[in-house]
Amino acid sequence: MRLLINEIEVDAPPGTTIKDAAKLARIRIPGLCDYPGIEHYGGCRLCLVEVEGMRGYPSSCTLPISEGMKVKTDTSALRELRKNILELLLSEHPCGCLFCERAGKCDEIREGMRKVPETVGCRYCPKDHRCELQETVALVGLEKIELCRLGSHKEVMRSPFFDRDPNLCILCGRCVRACDERSGGVVSFHFRGFDAGIGTAFEKPLEDVGCRFCGACVDVCPTGALVERANKWAGLPEKIVETTCPFCSCNCKIGLEIKNDKILRTRTTGSKLCVRGRFALEFVHHQRLTRPLIRKDGELVEADWKEALAFVAEKLSGYKGRDVAMLVSGVLTNEALTAAKTLAEQAMDSRAVAEDYSSRYNLDEIVKGPLLVVGDLSETNPATELAVRAAKPVVLSPIKTLLAKNASLWLRERPGDEVLVLTAIAKVAISALADQDRKSLEKVEGYSEFSKSLDLLKKDDISISPSEIGKATRALSRGTVVVSPDSDLEIKKAAGNLALALGGKLCLVGRNCNSRGSSILGLSRGFEDTMHSLQSGRTKAAYIVGCNPARASARMAEILSNLEFLVVQDLFLTESARLADVVLPAASFAEIDGTFTSTDGRMLPLKAAIKARSKSDVQILSDLLSIMKDGTKENKAEAELKADNSQSSPKASQPEMQREAAGESPEPVKTRAQANEFIILSFLPVKLQSAPRDSCQLVVGPRLFEFGSGTRTSRVHDLLYLNKKRKVEINPEDGRDLEIADGEAITLESGEKIINRAVRISRRVPKGVMHVCGRKSEAVSAEVKRDV
pLDDT tens digit string along 233-253? 888 899 999 999 999 999 999
CA distances from 686 to 108, 449, 453, 487, 531 (A): 71, 10, 8, 14, 22
- Helix 554-561, helix 527-536: angle, nearest 10: 60
CB 515 within 8 A of CB 330: yes
3-state secondary structure of 748: strand
What pLDDT, on the 0 to 100 scale, is given for residue 110?
59
pLDDT number for residue 392: 96
Provide the strand spans (E) within 332-478: 352-353, 371-374, 394-396, 409-411
**Minimum mean pLDDT among 285-289, 528-532, 621-625, 688-692: which range?**
688-692
* pLDDT per position as a tens digit, 701-728: 899 999 998 999 999 999 999 988 888 9
Q: How far apart are CA 33 and CA 27, in angstroms?
A: 18
List, in order of start, the domains of the chain with CATH numbers.
2-125 (3.10.20.740), 157-285 (3.30.70.20), 307-356+517-655 (3.40.50.740), 363-509 (3.40.228.10), 695-786 (2.40.40.20)
Q: Residue 719: helix, strand or coil by DSSP?
A: helix
**pLDDT of res. 671:** 31
Q: Is 1 in contact with 67 (CB distance < 8 Å)? A: yes
Write the burial class of residue 466 (CB in 10 Å: 0-12 exposed, 13-18 middle, 19+ buried). Answer: exposed
Residue 621 reports pLDDT greater than 60: yes
Least confident of 235-244, 382-391, 746-755: 746-755
The residue type found at 605 is P
pLDDT > 70? residue 669 = no
| Helices and strands (H, E) in the chain, number of each type | 27, 32
What is the secondary structure of 433-459 as a DSSP string? S-HHHHHHHHTSTTHHHHHHHHHH--G
Whole-number Å distance between alpha carbons of 639 and 653 = 8
Give the pLDDT confidence score for residue 787 in this predicted structure: 63
Report the alpha-carbon distance of residue 352 to residue 524 in Å, rounded: 9
Which of 100, 105, 64, 58 has its CA nearest to residue 81?
58
- CA dist 323 and 327 (Å) reads 13
Distance CA 495, CA 480 (A): 10
| Residue 780: Cβ within 10 Å count | 18
CA 506/CA 358 separation, integer angstroms: 11
| Residue 151, φ and ψ in degrees, nearest 5 | 85, 170
In the DSSP assignment, the letter for residue 498 is H
How many other C-beta atoms can be found within 10 angstroms of the C-beta atom of residue 290? 9
Q: Is the dihedral of CA 228, 230, 232, 238 positive or negative?
A: negative
* Angle at alpha carbon of residue 715, lines to 514 and 541, rounded to 5°: 60
With a cut of 90, say whether residue 120 has pLDDT above it.
Answer: no
Mean residue pLDDT across the chain:
88
| The predicted structure's pLDDT at residue 462 | 87
Q: How far apart are CA 485 and CA 401, in angstroms?
A: 16
Distances (CA, A) of 741 to 209, 728, 729: 18, 12, 11
Quote the distance between the C-alpha of residue 489 and its chain's center: 22
Mean pLDDT, residues 162-176 taken together: 94
Looking at residue 500, its amino acid is L
26-80 confidence digits (pLDDT tens): 999 999 999 998 988 899 999 999 999 999 999 999 999 999 999 999 999 999 9
**Cβ–Cβ under 8 Å, residues 184 and 210:** yes
Q: Using CA atoms, how far apart are residues 197 and 169, in angstroms rounded to an integer?
A: 8
Find all residues with CB under 8 Å of 255, minimum gap 6, and list them.
Answer: 240, 241, 242, 243, 266, 267, 268, 269
List the one residue out of 134, 139, 133, 130 whose CA is nearest residue 29.
139
Lowest mean pLDDT, pick from 89-103, 321-335, 572-586, 772-786: 772-786
Sign of CA dihedral 475, 480, 482, 483: positive
How many of the other CB atoms lie within 10 Å of CB of 365?
11
pLDDT at 141 over 70: yes
Contact between 322 and 543 under an 8 Å Cβ cutoff? The reply is: no
Question: Which H or E run includes 5?
Answer: strand 2-5
Q: What is the pLDDT of residues 419-455, one digit of tens each?
A: 999 999 999 999 999 898 899 999 999 999 999 889 8
Chain centroid, CA 438 distance in Å: 40
Identify which of 708, 666, 661, 674 has the alpha carbon closest to the alpha carbon of residue 359.
666
Helix, strand, coil % over all residues of the chain, rounded to 5: 35, 20, 45
* pLDDT tens digits, 280-300: 999 999 989 999 999 999 999
User: What pLDDT, on a 0 to 100 scale, did the predictor assign at position 686?
Assistant: 86
CA angle 691, 764, 184 (to 5 degrees): 140
- Greater pLDDT, 689 or 306: 306
φ, ψ of residue 545 to 5 degrees: the values are -125, 120
Residue 542 exposure: Cα atoms within 13 Å on the Cβ side: 29
Sequence-distant (6+) residues with CB within 8 A of 753 are 780
- Axis-axis angle for helices 132-140, 76-90 (nearest 10): 140
* Phi-psi sector, 630: left (phi>0), alpha (psi -120 to 50), beta: left
Burial of 744 (0-12, 13-18, 19+ CB in 10 A): middle
d(CA 748, CA 698): 9
Cross-strand pairs, 542: 325, 566
d(CA 199, CA 182): 16
* DSSP character string of 599-645: TTSPEEEE---S--SS--HHHHHHHHHHHHTTT-S--HHHHHHHHHH
pLDDT for 111 equals 58
Strand partners for 163: 158, 227
Q: What is the pLDDT of residues 624-633, one digit of tens each?
A: 999 998 743 4
pLDDT tens figures, 52-67: 999 999 999 999 999 9
The pLDDT-based confidence of 149 (bands split at 50, 70, 90) is: confident
Residue-level pLDDT at 662: 52
